[in-house]
Amino acid sequence: MAKYTGPVCRLCRREGAKLYLKGDRCYSDKCSFTDRGFAPGQHGATQTRKKVSEYGIQLREKQKTRRVYGILERQFRSYFDKAERQKGITGENLLILLERRLDNVVYRLGLAESRNQARQLVRHGHFTVNGHRVNIPSYLVKVGDVVAVKEGSKESPLVKSVAEALSRKTAPAWLEVSADDLNGKIVRYPTREEIDIPIQEHLIVELYSR
C-alpha cells in the first residue's frame, strides 16, 4: 500500500491549518507551521491564491481529514460508505468511526505521542485488545474493550518514554485510563463535541454526494 513518506509539516502548510501530526512538538515553539504558515513550494510565501471553487473547498476538507488520521483514499471512502449506512448524521458517524480506530485510541489514551507513532507501535505488536495481541491499526474498538500495552513491550525504551509522560496527559471523557497498568477502557463512543479536530464534516458529505 502506498503511503506518504515526506515531511509531515508540509501537509499542515498545504491545508493551511495545524493538523497536529507530530504530537507534542506541534504545541511547542518548534512547530514550523507557526513560522511558515504559507503553502509549501518555491513560491508558497508570495503566491496569491485564486478563488477556490465549492468543489475545491470540499476536496480540501476531505484531504485534511484523511491526513489527520493517516488514511488513504480507498479506505476513507469505505469508512464513509459505512457511516452512510448507519443511523444518525453521516458526517458525525464518519468521525466516530475514525476515532474508533485502534491507532487513534492508542494516541487518545496518551500511549503514543502522535497517531503516526501509535500506528507504528500497533503494527509492531506492542498492544493488546481484551488480552489478545492486535497489530492492525484500523481495528475498530467497541464499548467495553480494554486496550493495553503488551506485557513484554513495557520494557521497550519508546514505550517507557511515553509511559513517563502519561500522568501529565488527560484522555477524553469517553476513555478511561490507568497510567499504572498502561491500559485504557472504551467507556462509550465519543460525541461530536469531544472530537477536537478542525474539520467541517458536512463538506465531506457534500463532496461524496455529488
What single-letter DSSP state applies at residue 140? B
Averaged pLDDT, 14-23? 62
Task: Considering only residues 197 and 47, tell me which one the structure prediction assigns the higher pLDDT.
Answer: 197
Q: Helices (DSSP H) in 70-187: which residue ranges?
A: 73-85, 90-99, 102-108, 115-123, 157-166
**Domain span at 84:** 9-97+197-208
58 and 107 housed in the same domain: no
91 and 109 housed in the same domain: no
Cross-strand partners of 127: 149
Q: What is the pLDDT of residue 147?
A: 98
Residue 3 inside a domain? The answer is no
CATH of the domain at 31: 1.10.1050.10
Task: Considering only residues 148 and 157, tell me which one the structure prediction assigns the higher pLDDT.
Answer: 148
Residue 181 inside a domain? The answer is yes
135 and 71 housed in the same domain: no
CA nearest to 206, candidates 54, 68, 101, 97: 54
- Asked if pLDDT for residue 50 goes beyond 50, the answer is yes
Distance between CA atoms of residues 105 and 28, nearest Å: 23
Domains in the chain, number: 2
Q: Give the tens place of pLDDT for each residue, 136-146.
A: 999 999 999 99
107 and 70 housed in the same domain: no
176 and 148 housed in the same domain: yes
115 and 73 housed in the same domain: no
What single-letter DSSP state applies at residue 38? S
Percent of the chain with pLDDT over 70: 77
CA nearest to 150, candidates 122, 120, 118, 179: 122
147 and 115 housed in the same domain: yes
Mean pLDDT of the chain: 86
Percent of the chain with pLDDT over 90: 65
CA 66 to chain centre: 9
27 and 80 housed in the same domain: yes
Distance between CA atoms of residues 81 and 42, nearest Å: 38
pTM of the model as a whole = 0.80
